[in-house]
Amino acid sequence: MNAVRQFGVLVCGLLLSVIPTFAQPGGDLPHSASSVSGQFVVSAVDGISRLAWSPEIATNPAWLRLEPMLTAVSAERVKQALAKELQVPANAGWRSKVFMVLRPAQSLTEGVSIQVQPFLQVWQYRVELPNLLSAQRFTRTIAAVLLIQLAGLEPATGRTPEIPAWLADGLAQQILAVDTTKLTLSAPTKAIDGLVQSRQNANVRGVDGLAGVRETLRNASVLTFQQLSWPEPAQLAGADGGVYFASAQLFTSELLQLKNGPAKLRAMLARLPACANWQTAFFAAFQDDFSRPLEVEKWWSLRVVNFSRREVGPRWTPAASGARLAELLNVSVAVRHVANALPVHEEISLQAALRSLTPAQQLEVLRVKLRDLELAQLRFAPVYAVVADGYRRALADYLGERKPLPLAADKPGKQPPPRRASVGETVKKLNALDLRRRAVDEQVNGLIRRLR
């Protein structure tokens, strides 16, 4: 996927666009300020945004009222936090200037633009953004600019490198969650006893920097690597309840915890200008850990399960467990009942999926089902946890991922790979499990009726 398409994706989430231009940066605007390093130069366009003084915005710490001095300080702090996460060496990193222009906000959904400009044999960046912005979008914007700078541009053409959305969003979420300083500053909103009060958005490092991720993902399915690689516009806009952002933060956090994880992410960024897409740079940088998408999915599924086990949460009631298990056993597919008609989404059983889907489609669907069953099993009522384990084992046998028994002492040697169950064998197992599940449903429903 080329840079234009990738940042077309980021437009939906960050409301951000990256535009290469070839004009010299304009002169200083009124109300300008520079960060302590001199890298960020922030100016404000004259004008008033009525939205900034509305009560729901003025009292909401999730929204920032940006003005040059505080914006320069906040941008510098985001840079320091990002350098800490990626372990950027002190003698490397960011050299180009970032000129930021604040314009009066006319709506809460205004876009942010990043323009790349050659100036005196160096590349400079111009960021235009509304002066009313959520702390999340502000941090994501600064993170995206800094990642582009770390990667560098393609020397011959100045082509902007393709930054994966999950990396910019994941690092931004991580910074907001674990930074020990008061990261983002907002302009004053009121005066008390003659003293102007400034709002500070602080996130203090605690026992668990992923506490917000746990809360968001407690009753939601974590996105797969494939889904993170191609997020939908609604997910980038946060319309999924924050599941995409939580998944991106967890994925980025797990990558950073790999051996030399920060260095590998930096190596990935360094490869981006010469690569046609970010996936090529990603697998080259992480070749010691995984070389293809299937290996990433297997690693990611294991990390998600281990993460969830650290804080399972309360068990579901038997009724809720039965409903959730029934939901997990359905597969959503797009079906065309008439040629040339638009596809409609329908739910089919696992048995139908085994008979009708291609091997590649089965692999994608069943791996997610296997992971979700394992996660849900931790919270199912005991009577349903046993049944769910049966479904999980049946799918693992079909995928050839059932852990074999240890070798006997008198049979040394390499352990043979587990035998994959056939479609027919798996369908029989699933049919038997369906009968068992319905019997449990009847018992639970009968008990509920008696209690009423």
- The whole-chain average pLDDT of the chain stands at 79
For 330-358, the pLDDT digits (tens) are 988 777 667 666 667 788 899 999 998 88
For 13-56, the pLDDT digits (tens) are 344 445 444 344 444 455 788 888 888 999 998 877 777 667 76
Tell me the β-bridge partners of 53: none
| Mean pLDDT value across residues 420-434 | 92
Whether pLDDT at 231 is above 50: yes
Whether pLDDT at 150 is above 60: yes
Question: CA dihedral defined by 226, 265, 76, 60, rounded to 10 degrees?
Answer: 20
The single residue listed with the structure tokens 């990603």 is 282
CA distance 72 to 406: 60
CA distance 378 to 385: 7
- The better pLDDT of the pair 147, 337 is held by 147
Whether pLDDT at 429 is above 90: yes
Residue 205 — very low, low, confident or very high, per pLDDT cuts 50/70/90? very low
For 293-324, the pLDDT digits (tens) are 888 988 998 888 888 776 656 778 888 889 98
- The better pLDDT of the pair 105, 86 is held by 86
CA distance 77 to 143: 11
**How far is CA 270 from each of CA 149, 157, 234, 332, rounded to the nearest angstrom?**
10, 16, 30, 39
- The better pLDDT of the pair 346, 438 is held by 438
Compute how many other C-beta atoms are within 10 angstroms of the C-beta atom of residue 380. 22
- Which own/partner contact pairs does 59-64 have at CB distance under 8 Å and 24+ positions apart? 59/189, 61/135, 61/186, 61/199, 61/201, 62/134, 62/135, 62/136, 62/201, 63/132, 63/133, 63/134, 63/135, 63/186, 64/132, 64/133, 64/134, 64/135, 64/138, 64/184, 64/185, 64/186, 64/187, 64/201
Compute how many other C-beta atoms are within 10 angstroms of the C-beta atom of residue 129. 26
Of 47, 184, 31, nearest to 103 by C-alpha is 47
Spatial contact of 98 and 39, defined as CB atoms under 8 Å apart: yes
CA atoms within 13 A on the CB side of 234: 3
pLDDT at res. 166: 95
The single residue listed with the structure tokens 């309360």 is 314
Name the phi and psi angles at 201, rounded to 5: -100, 110
Compute how many other C-beta atoms are within 10 angstroms of the C-beta atom of residue 233. 12
CA distance 195 to 180: 26
Going along the chain from its start, the domains and CATH numbers come out as: 3-189+199-302 (1.10.390), 312-405+416-451 (no CATH)
| Mean pLDDT value across residues 184-201 | 48
- H or E segment to which residue 332 belongs: strand 330-335
For 369-419, the pLDDT digits (tens) are 888 888 888 888 888 989 999 999 999 999 887 654 443 334 455 555 567
Pairing state of beta strands 98-103 and 40-44? parallel
